[in-house]
Structure 1
């Protein structure tokens, strides 16, 4: 069994790992690179392998940095089955269609300002490309061991990161590989805890927060309530960049849980994302994947997805109208790293106002507007124009959908015999810190994945 690394190998985004086993070629994830402009430009590069020669694709979950290049893979010749958890299969069309819409808009905007002597730049993916992916999907339940090619089997285990997120166990050639996907923290609302795995010959593990531990979740939630109170006293608005899958739903969960304590009935709450509204409906169809506490909250009133003052804004006109609200609005909008989507329009209108509170509730990749804002820069550039940052910026790190250093070490600690470990999906500082801690405590052989690196077991 041999693994070759082609994405999320030195950075957080772009997950893509090629496994050659039993004479077959299986790709784990096919994600989009996100962040700096030069990083995102690599999404247009040809794949470093022949897509038509792949026997199968296995997807760990529906975030764009794990699925965003699947339409390009199909457009360039892949025709094999795509294996994924059932909830992920429901989420994938929503995520990819939104990404295609953004890509088409970005290409159209860029081509308006291009050098007339240069050919127009095509979009990274189109809605037609997305439609060609859907017939290839092969949804699986958690814990079902399934043959995906002659001599190759997989099982998907709950990763506790977002709805349908999976740890991938892969068997072939008498060897077993375990790919963590993205691991959620224990005690994450709505979701179950990540499944513990005990046996592997090789482990690929994410390392997003490999160099730090999160704040206590309840303390973080208390901090969020304080931000709302402060913003209300200032007669301001609150902007929350949040991913449409996972973070938006968790925020609504906490809104329902602390409805009275935070006096949320006085606010107007907007989920300003057509995609997030569709995702909410998918979550509502998969209560079987919720933890026991979430099921109890869903039986209470108000239900997280049916708060009496919650507005789902579908159209562009509805989104634009939010900017006319002078105070008393909480706006949850994509994208989570403020590198696209409707949140940019709200930031353009509000960053210059001291009574605006911008709350970041997740990881901000290097090169994104979100990263610049949490680093407290005085100016940011949005859609070609510079905007002064007078708004109050809050980083609420305890709501991350990724587990922290302690959680990663605990998850790896369940394996018997300290199998060799390759760290993916993390910046070098985080990976180096985690490698040092695990190596010192367990004596395990820990490697940092690099593009094109091969590992054989």
Structure 2
């Protein structure tokens, strides 16, 4: 049987995850994400899909981050009408994320047209809320370890990968051959989730490499957060935390709840100003079987932060110059309410911007991480005077050491290993590490290239 893979995204970069599988004249798609960051990457979101989306039978979705699910409405808009297979939390979170993505795109297009700072006339969103709503009936949910038969040649199961709520690695059996896609591999000791399952065997392995070239610091995230809160408070400043709505927002609430229980928080207001973050938190609370928190821990998280969804309330919080902690999306500062906080406060030295996750190349978050003295948004440049801090120990991605430890559970080498979802240096460093320590046949996936397996 003819069996081949084509990496349509997350090859040479960390965003735009899409892997096309052709087998016996049929097509499957693993993940369907948006490119983010650099302009040349974002432009690829508008390229024509390489095959007619109508010919794709199933989309197998590993988790609900935008770089894995954000292209779905456009795929449906262009003719895809197959099943979107995922876990229950992934379905719930993807709906939240796609609605937010459509809203942000529509607002940005409207703002660009109003102020004339787009090079396109008129500026148009990739998709709108109507396109999102057409996608939702296609979702079919499954539990971990539930084998699903697609046809006479193909079946799959999802396995826990410990990245975000409901995230999964994909074990796919095609005509007797086992293909394993890690999706985004989680940490060995996630804060809110069970750790990734160990795997003993696969014929073909596709593994991510976001942090394939480094080790995470062993710093205590709770203590780092505590110190940054108090340093900012002593200056009379505002702490702005660009926050990923899914998982990172809930981790921050969990850490803040611990500090509150220990009476180690200053008496200032704390806000999660993110409709998507609030919705994602509610999803976690209603699905206790999918995370590792106890009932007491869940109860302790309730009431620690003010949950803000209303736009008028958000504007009032931004306008109040008093000390506060504001968590707002997006996590890489590519859009969202955090821009309004930065618009008001990034120009003051008393304030702090705290980065709490991976910042992709070309994003405003990466620019701040690399020491930018000005930041462009809302069509103009803003001087950066606020202190920029980063907590890297909160990452939801395995580092090089954790990836290697996970790989060592394989009882024999896969026939082929493809490395994806990483910037070039990270992916190639991981390739060399696997080859030197495990002796496996490994290659870094190239964008658009077709591989026979």
TM-aligned CA distance change 1:181 to 1:327, over 3 Å: same
| Shift of residue 286, structure 1, vs aligned partner | 0.9
Specify the alignment match of 1:76 in structure 2: 78
1:210 is aligned to 2:209? no
Specify the alignment match of 2:418 in structure 1: 422
| Shift of residue 186, structure 1, vs aligned partner | 1.7
What is the correspondence of 1:49-448 to structure 2 with a 5 Å cutoff? 49-114=51-116, 119-216=121-218, 219-261=220-262, 263-264=264-265, 266-291=267-292, 294-295=293-294, 297-298=296-297, 303-307=300-304, 310-419=305-414, 420-448=416-444
The answer to whether the Cα contact below 8 Å between 1:22 and 1:152 also exists between their aligned partners in 2 is no
* Unpaired runs of at least 5, structure 2: none
Distance in 2 between residues matched to 1:210 and 1:171, nearest whole Å: 27
Distance in 2 between residues matched to 1:27 and 1:427, nearest whole Å: 22
Specify the alignment match of 2:39 in structure 1: 37
Specify the alignment match of 1:47 in structure 2: 49
The answer to whether the Cα contact below 8 Å between 1:277 and 1:312 also exists between their aligned partners in 2 is yes
TM-aligned CA distance change 1:111 to 1:436, over 3 Å: same
| Shift of residue 178, structure 1, vs aligned partner | 0.3
Return the TM-score normalized by structure 2.
0.96
| Shift of residue 28, structure 1, vs aligned partner | 0.1
Where 1:82 maps in the other structure, the secondary structure is strand
Q: 1:26 aligns with which of 25, 28, 39?
A: 28
What is the correspondence of 1:441-456 to structure 2 with a 5 Å cutoff? 441-456=437-452
The answer to whether the Cα contact below 8 Å between 2:112 and 2:118 also exists between their aligned partners in 1 is no
Where 1:167 maps in the other structure, the secondary structure is strand
| Shift of residue 262, structure 1, vs aligned partner | 6.1
* Unpaired runs of at least 5, structure 1: none
Distance in 2 between residues matched to 1:119 and 1:353, nearest whole Å: 35
Distance in 2 between residues matched to 1:204 and 1:154, nearest whole Å: 15
Moved more, 324-333 or 367-376: 324-333
The answer to whether the Cα contact below 8 Å between 1:18 and 1:28 also exists between their aligned partners in 2 is yes
Where 1:26 maps in the other structure, the secondary structure is strand
TM-aligned CA distance change 1:147 to 1:26, over 3 Å: same
TM-aligned CA distance change 1:418 to 1:379, over 3 Å: same
The answer to whether the Cα contact below 8 Å between 2:226 and 2:264 also exists between their aligned partners in 1 is no
Residues 235-263 of structure 1: per-residue CA shift (max 9 Å, x gap): 11111111100100000011112224462
Moved more, 380-389 or 156-165: 380-389
Distance in 2 between residues matched to 1:111 and 1:117, nearest whole Å: 10
| Shift of residue 448, structure 1, vs aligned partner | 0.8
Moved more, 252-261 or 59-68: 252-261
Return the TM-score normalized by structure 1.
0.95
**Alignment root-mean-square deviation, CA:** 1.7
Distance in 2 between residues matched to 1:325 and 1:120, nearest whole Å: 35
Distance in 1 between residues matched to 2:34 and 2:442, nearest whole Å: 26
The answer to whether the Cα contact below 8 Å between 2:230 and 2:266 also exists between their aligned partners in 1 is no
Distance in 2 between residues matched to 1:115 and 1:197, nearest whole Å: 50
Where 1:258 maps in the other structure, the secondary structure is helix
Distance in 2 between residues matched to 1:175 and 1:275, nearest whole Å: 39
TM-aligned CA distance change 1:325 to 1:110, over 3 Å: closer
| Shift of residue 306, structure 1, vs aligned partner | 2.6
| Shift of residue 14, structure 1, vs aligned partner | 0.3
Q: 2:11 aligns with which of 9, 12, 18?
A: 9
| Shift of residue 120, structure 1, vs aligned partner | 2.4
Where 1:381 maps in the other structure, the secondary structure is strand
